[in-house]
Amino acid sequence: MRYPSITALRALDAVARLGSVTAAAQQLSLTRSAISHQIISLEQSLGFALTERVGRGIGLTYQGQCYAREVRRILADIQDAGRRFDGLAVSGKLRISCNPGFASFWLCNHINGFLRQYPQVQLQVVSPRSQDDTSDAEADLFIAYGIGDWPGLLVEQIVTLRFSPVCSPRLINAIGGLKTPLDLKDFPLIHMSDTSDWRVWLAAAGASQVNADSGITFSDAHCAQSACIAAQGVAIGDNLLSGDALARGLLVRPFDISISALRGYFLVIDPAKAERSVVQAFSAWLKNQLQTSAQHISDAPSGEP
């Protein structure tokens, strides 16, 4: 005896549950003749009758009823197996090249959620040589910081940033508050990589008299923010990297003026790797988590003493 097709088994199950060929056809989006053909094919495969004429319609024979009950149980087991192994279908190694700032202040606080959903994935997170570097041939995807200019790669912005000065409440309390942006001339400015962010913000705030080149420049975002939290100066923060520290009260915003950043965080993928199920799963998870756990600098406390 050859194995019956799943289509034929589903047709029999639908007829048994719904009581007619017409209703079964509607539920399975098939024609009545297609349902009848599947039942006949199943009977020929089994070697006994499943249906019999009842008035103008058909009903199941005794053997058909018994067989239909077994079929329903088997189909339910198949569905349950699919649910159990759904999360295990995504597996294998995934190498992520991630900007150190994004990794320190966001990814490291959320990454276990991805592993709980996809336990068969072997994750490796590496830091690039620069914030916009996508040259790692071993990486499956990149979380890069820049203006979105990566020719030949699939590029999608995942975080839009807004900049505003941030500082420790200890610093604010020690000096009785920062009244206007011009007061910044008396405090060390903390820079990340270069002084461009401060230059743009000071111009937008009408405080170009403040020397944007003064202060301390760090090459690492974590060091810059640690110095700011330790009351060593005033830094330019954003809604992603500074969001948690602002929410916890480790940092405050002395001014309400914020500006849109020219650069942002992007998901960058080689088209040749984009179809891998593990790459698609991580991309979808990342975008969903950023959407649901977004931290907005505008919700953080101000620096009023």
The pLDDT tens digits for 79-132 are 766 655 555 578 899 999 999 889 988 999 899 999 998 999 999 999 998 889
- What pLDDT does 298 receive? 38
How many Å apart are CA 246 and CA 258, to the nearest integer?
Answer: 15
- What pLDDT does 169 receive? 94
Q: Does 13 score more than 80 pLDDT?
A: yes
How many Å apart are CA 254 and CA 170, to the nearest integer?
Answer: 12
Compute the average pLDDT of residues 24-28: 89
Q: Count the domains in the chain.
A: 3
Do residues 166 and 257 share a domain? yes
Q: Does 211 score more than 80 pLDDT?
A: yes
Give pLDDT tens digits for 175-205: 777 889 999 998 899 998 889 999 999 999 9
In a domain, 63, yes or no: yes
Instruction: Please give the structure tokens belonging to residue 281.
Output: 């799963």
Do residues 211 and 233 share a domain? yes
In a domain, 118, yes or no: yes
Among residues 85, 109, 141, the one where a domain terminates is: 85
Do residues 168 and 214 share a domain? yes
Compute the average pLDDT of residues 27-53: 90
Q: What is the CATH number of the domain that holds 94?
A: 3.40.190.10
- Give the residue carrying structure tokens 């606080």: 109
Contact indicator for 302, 165 with CB cutoff of 8 Å: no
Instruction: Give the residue among 278, 243, 273, 270 at the shortest CA–CA distance from 258.
Output: 243
Contact indicator for 114, 285 with CB cutoff of 8 Å: yes
- What pLDDT does 295 receive? 41
Instruction: Please give the structure tokens belonging to residue 73.
Output: 């149980």
Give pLDDT tens digits for 281-300: 999 999 988 877 554 333 44
In a domain, 47, yes or no: yes
Residue 173 sits at φ, ψ, to 5 deg, of -65, -35
Among residues 32, 53, 85, the one where a domain terminates is: 85
Give pLDDT tens digits for 264-277: 899 999 999 998 99
Where in the sequence is the domain holding 134, given as residue range(s)? 88-161+264-292
Helix, strand, coil percentages in the chain from 3-state DSSP, rounded to 5: 45, 20, 35
176 membership: H or E segment, kind and range: none
Do residues 156 and 166 share a domain? no
Going by pLDDT thresholds of 50, 70 and 90, the confidence category of residue 304 is very low
Do residues 104 and 151 share a domain? yes
Average pLDDT, the chain: 87
